[in-house]
Amino acid sequence: MKIKSRYLLIESSGGRDLIERAVSSFIGENGVSEFNFKILFQFKDKWVAKCYLKGLEQVIAATALKVRDGGNSAVVRIVKISGTIKALTSN
Amino acid sequence: MKFYDLNISKPLLAEKERQLGFEKVVSLPVIEGDEKKVVGECKKKNFALVNPFRVKKFYENKLLTKSVLEGNKCFEIPVSFFLRLEGTERARFMNRVRLFLKFCLRKKACFVFTSRAMDESELKTPREWIAIGVTLGLDYRQAEYAFSGRVEKLGVVF
């Protein structure tokens, strides 16, 4: 059975590492594997990631709750969510 | 769907929050403190939000919920409180708020999400507020209602 996924366009002040840290610190390794969260590629100055639909709220909350990183302020923001990469990367 | 923020700590940030998708951003008076103070203030007639977090065992405090219901007040859940904590402290706090929201739903007590943002990094979009609400044990509609329909029903921003 095909599991529904969503693609996310993520803006991050600390690049790929910050997104990974934000998500894994909030939902943990178990959550990352359960929701199959992965960062796919960089698109312009943002990152394209993918996760299962059932974990979408957790991933959004994880990025929203990341406001500090090692004492400095950090910004991780989901710009767009879509079911296909094509729709995500088109204007 | 229109979204409202009933308590922003810095009114200077209101315009930026409006750009993120909020219809109206205001700063309403808040009752906060220990149980005795909050219960006493709830008896007053003017509308105010009630911040439960300084009350001991707020997540199972029947007297607190009862006085809010009787005084026609509304609990506020400030989103920025979650942002200022990290690690296990945040996890413990989220657990208490999760229990509190469940308790409020059972007792039919009113609650709204507010921002209490002190700087720009604490401003979040309505979609992010909903996601935080969902992680606090609400379903999507309940989380959405907590800062849209509920505020309209209260009738305090019009």
Query: Does A75 map to a domain?
Result: yes
Q: Is A53 on the interface with B (CB under 8 A)?
A: no
| A79: contact with B, CB 8 A cutoff | no
Residue B82 sits at the chain A interface (C-beta within 8 Å) = yes
Domain carrying residue A73: 5-85
Contact status of B157 with chain A (Cβ, < 8 Å): no
From CA B129, how far away is CA B118, in angstroms rounded?
16
Query: Which of B132, B139, B140 to mutate to probe the A interface, most A CBs <10 Å?
Result: B132
Report the complex ipTM: 0.90
For A62, the closest chain B residue by CA position comes to B132
Contacts B121 to A, Cβ<8 Å:
67, 73-75
Angle in degrees, 0-180, between the axes of helices B35-42 and B62-70, rounded to the nearest 10: 20
CATH number at residue A72: 3.30.70.3250
Angle at A78 between CA B82 and CA A15, to 5 degrees: 95
Q: Least CB-CB distance to A60: which of B86, B121, B127?
A: B127
A60 part of a folded domain: yes
Tokens of B110: 């009113």
> C-alpha A7: how far from its chain's center?
8
- Packing angle between helix A56-64 and helix B126-135, nearest 10 degrees? 110
What pLDDT was estimated at residue B158? Answer: 63
Contact criterion met (CB below 8 Å) for B68 and B109: yes
Please indicate, yes or no, if residue A46 is contained in any of the structural domains.
Answer: yes
**Is pLDDT at A91 greater than 80 in this prediction?**
no
Supply angle C-alpha B131, B136, B140, rounded to 5: 45
Residues A12 and A18: beta-carbon distance below 8 Å: yes
Amino acid at B122: E
Q: Is B81 on the interface with A (CB under 8 A)?
A: no
Measured in angstroms, the CA of A1 and the nearest CA of chain B are apart by 25
User: What is the number of domains present in chain A?
Assistant: 1
Q: Report which of B56, B13, B3 is spatially closest to residue B33, judged by C-alpha positions.
A: B56
CATH code for the part of the protein at B4-154: 3.20.20.140
Q: Would you write out chain B's pLDDT as a tens digit for each of its 158 residues?
A: 899 999 888 888 989 999 999 999 998 989 999 989 999 999 888 888 999 999 999 999 999 999 999 998 999 999 999 999 988 999 999 999 999 999 999 999 999 999 999 888 889 999 999 999 999 999 999 999 999 998 888 887 76
Nearest to B121 among A58, A61, A73 (CB): A73
Of A58, A67, A78, the CB nearest to B83: A67
Does residue A77 surpass a pLDDT of 70?
yes
Structure tokens at B3: 């979204």
Answer whether A75 touches B (CB < 8 Å): yes
**A90 within a domain of the structure (yes/no):** no
